[in-house]
């Protein structure tokens, strides 16, 4: 059986994890800790096959701990079990040495699936996050397709300026500004100015 260390600062959640592993024949909880420092202290005494870490932990967060474990205990496979579905944390996961990223609202089967994948040397991400990541990749490709002038116009539209006002600000004709607006809608696959404003907000363009 594979030894698992779990780290979370919520006792009720740790109790729930105990129930998940209670009757599992492949993995068992060998150690429970409450913060990042305790994870590192535990590894100095004993090396575990897996470490299930919350990202938001006291002293050292899960991402920092994952990096430290990868440096000193490369045989241990890290699974992030977290409530964070933010893209910035998902990106941290993809760049890290962790093998799994599972949301806390996922079921027992998904966590165990992540462990099985990791045991085979494969990465696993919660199914809910795959859509978020795919959407972000699409938005990124759309963003890269925009010209510098189009991004300027998007920023001004997001500030509530009309085509006439934008034309005056950029020393362009209204016709040219409207042509850019049409190209922006086409490239971003949007229907109207409201969609452009939303895109600007989501991509921190204002």
71: number of Cβ within 10 Å: 9
CATH number of the CATH domain containing 15: 3.40.50.2300
Q: Tell me, yes or no, whether 134 lies in a domain.
A: no
Tokens 């990749």 -> residue:
137
- Domain termination site, one of 104, 127, 150: 127
- Domain termination site, one of 101, 127, 153: 127
Q: Tell me, yes or no, whether 133 lies in a domain.
A: no
8 plus 108 within the same structural domain: yes
Q: Tell me, yes or no, whether 105 lies in a domain.
A: yes
Task: Please report, in tens digits, the pLDDT of each residue of the chain (206 residues total).
Answer: 899 999 988 888 888 889 889 888 899 999 999 999 999 999 999 999 999 998 888 899 989 999 999 999 999 999 999 887 766 777 778 778 889 888 888 878 888 999 999 999 888 887 766 545 545 554 555 667 788 898 889 889 988 899 999 999 999 999 999 999 999 898 888 888 888 888 887 766 66
β-pairing verdict for 50-53 and 77-82: parallel
144 plus 122 within the same structural domain: no
Angstrom CA distances, 70 to 76, 78, 113, 198, stand at 7, 9, 22, 39
Q: What is the pLDDT of residue 134?
A: 46
Residue range of the domain that includes 178: 140-202
117 plus 152 within the same structural domain: no
53: number of Cβ within 10 Å: 28
94 plus 145 within the same structural domain: no
Burial of 88 (0-12, 13-18, 19+ CB in 10 A): exposed
- Domain termination site, one of 73, 94, 127: 127
Q: Tell me, yes or no, whether 172 lies in a domain.
A: yes
123 plus 148 within the same structural domain: no
């Amino acid at each position: 059986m594979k030894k698992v260390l779990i780290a979370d600062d919520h006792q009720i959640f740790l109790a729930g994890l105990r129930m998940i592993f209670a009757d599992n024949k492949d993995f068992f909880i060998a150690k429970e800790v409450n913060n990042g420092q305790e994870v590192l202290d535990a590894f100095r005494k004993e090396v575990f096959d897996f470490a299930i870490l919350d990202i938001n932990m006291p002293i050292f967060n899960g991402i920092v701990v994952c990096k430290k474990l990868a440096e000193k205990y490369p045989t241990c496979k890290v699974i992030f079990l977290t409530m964070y579905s933010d893209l910035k944390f998902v990106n941290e996961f993809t760049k890290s040495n962790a093998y799994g990223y599972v949301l806390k609202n996922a079921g027992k089967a998904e966590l165990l699936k992540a462990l099985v994948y990791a045991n085979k040397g494969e990465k696993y991400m919660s199914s809910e996050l795959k859509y978020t990541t795919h959407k972000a990749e699409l938005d990124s490709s759309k963003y890269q397709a925009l010209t510098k002038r189009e991004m300027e116009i998007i920023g001004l539209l997001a500030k509530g300026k009309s085509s006439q006002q934008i034309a005056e600000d950029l020393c362009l004709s209204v016709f040219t500004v409207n042509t850019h607006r049409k190209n922006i809608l086409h490239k971003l696959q949007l229907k109207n100015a409201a969609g452009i404003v939303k895109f600007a907000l989501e991509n921190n363009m204002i």
